């Protein structure tokens, strides 16, 4: 195994939840009278903590409107929308393969809230795959590297023995700020050329290719 600790983003990297996130944010925008939020704009903010995402998506939005938008998004995502959110092809098998190495550790670093990540862990029965996780609301949102710093400390792994895997520049720049290796996956939300700016050590077009490379 190339690394002792492999840290994964969630939405757009492990779970194909992009369509649901976009639909729910657009519905929330309509609910609060903000207007039709362009799908590409919503895709661009996936990976950020929700407050940071709303601020970037809706420049100039006031605190009350931002809170109303957050509440309506949460409603649609949890109760109002049933768009399927499967794992990407090869994820279940790939993570199981990565866990077979006795010295390896797997973790999640996500823009989700703790409540949201715990919910999806329960619904997907995936929580037991990971040795640790961090969410944006219990630390700082990407691209600040604090959640990675906390995961390294919790699992007692030096930065040179860890790697961050993600589909957005926020994931990769978070790792780059620490001097951590980073891997880009191109099937998520940010374009390959955008990800390349962060100088990933490897770029994967599919999850099985990523797993093969990690096994080295």
pLDDT for residue 25: 94
Question: Of 48, 80, 112, which residue is a domain's last?
Answer: 80
Domain identity same for 120 and 203: yes
Q: By the 8 A CB rule, do 116 and 108 touch?
A: no
pLDDT given at position 28: 94
* pLDDT of 183 over the 80 cut: yes
CB atoms within 10 A of CB 42: 21
Closest CA to 69 of 32, 38, 33, 42: 32
Query: Residue 186 maps to which CATH number?
Result: 3.40.50.1000
Q: pLDDT per residue over 32-53, tens digit each?
A: 988 889 999 999 999 999 999 9
Counted domains in the chain: 2
Which of 80, 97, 118 is at the close of a domain?
80
The rounded distance, in Å, linking the Cα atoms of 127 and 190 is: 26
Higher pLDDT, 133 or 78: 133
Residue 199 has pLDDT above 90, yes or no: yes
Range of the domain at 52: 18-80
Residues 63-92, mean pLDDT to the nearest whole number: 90
List the Cα angle 164/168/174 in 5-degree steps.
50
Domain boundary (63, 80, 97) is at 80
| Per-residue confidence band for 1, with pLDDT thresholds at 50, 70 and 90 | confident
- Of the two residues 205 and 103, the one the predictor is more confident about is 205
In this structure, the answer to whether residues 29 and 76 fall within a common structural domain is yes
Residues 120-146: tens digit of each pLDDT: 999 999 999 999 999 999 999 999 999
pLDDT of residue 180: 98
Q: Are residues 120 and 164 in the same domain?
A: yes
Torsion sign, CA atoms 7, 10, 12, 13 = positive
Q: What are phi and psi of 145, to 5 degrees?
A: -85, 10
- 54 and 103 belong to one structural domain: no
3-class DSSP state for residue 187?
coil
Asked whether 17 and 178 are in contact (CB, 8 A), the reply is: no
* Mean pLDDT, rounded, for 100-117: 91
Q: How far apart are CA 36 and CA 83, in angstroms?
A: 19
pLDDT above 90 coverage of the chain, percent: 89
């Amino acid at each position: 195994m190339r690394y002792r600790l492999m840290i994964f983003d969630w939405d757009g990297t492990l779970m194909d939840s992009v369509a649901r996130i976009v639909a729910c944010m657009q519905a929330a925008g309509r609910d609060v009278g903000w207007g039709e939020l362009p799908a590409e704009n919503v895709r661009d903010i996936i990976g950020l903590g929700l407050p940071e995402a709303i601020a970037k998506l809706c420049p100039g939005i006031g605190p009350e409107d931002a809170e109303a938008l957050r509440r309506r998004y949460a409603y649609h995502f949890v109760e109002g929308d049933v768009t399927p959110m499967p794992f990407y092809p090869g994820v279940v098998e790939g993570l199981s393969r990565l866990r077979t190495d006795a010295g390896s550790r797997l973790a999640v670093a996500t823009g989700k809230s703790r409540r949201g990540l715990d919910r999806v862990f329960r619904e997907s029965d995936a929580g037991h795959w990971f040795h640790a996780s961090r969410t944006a609301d219990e630390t700082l949102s990407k691209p600040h590297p604090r959640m990675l710093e906390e995961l390294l400390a919790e699992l007692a792994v030096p930065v040179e023995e860890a790697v961050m895997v993600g589909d957005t520049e926020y994931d990769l720049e978070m790792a780059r700020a620490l001097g951590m290796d980073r891997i880009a996956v191109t099937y998520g939300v940010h374009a390959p050329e955008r990800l390349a700016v962060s100088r990933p050590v490897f770029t994967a077009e599919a999850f099985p290719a990523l797993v093969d490379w990690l096994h080295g």
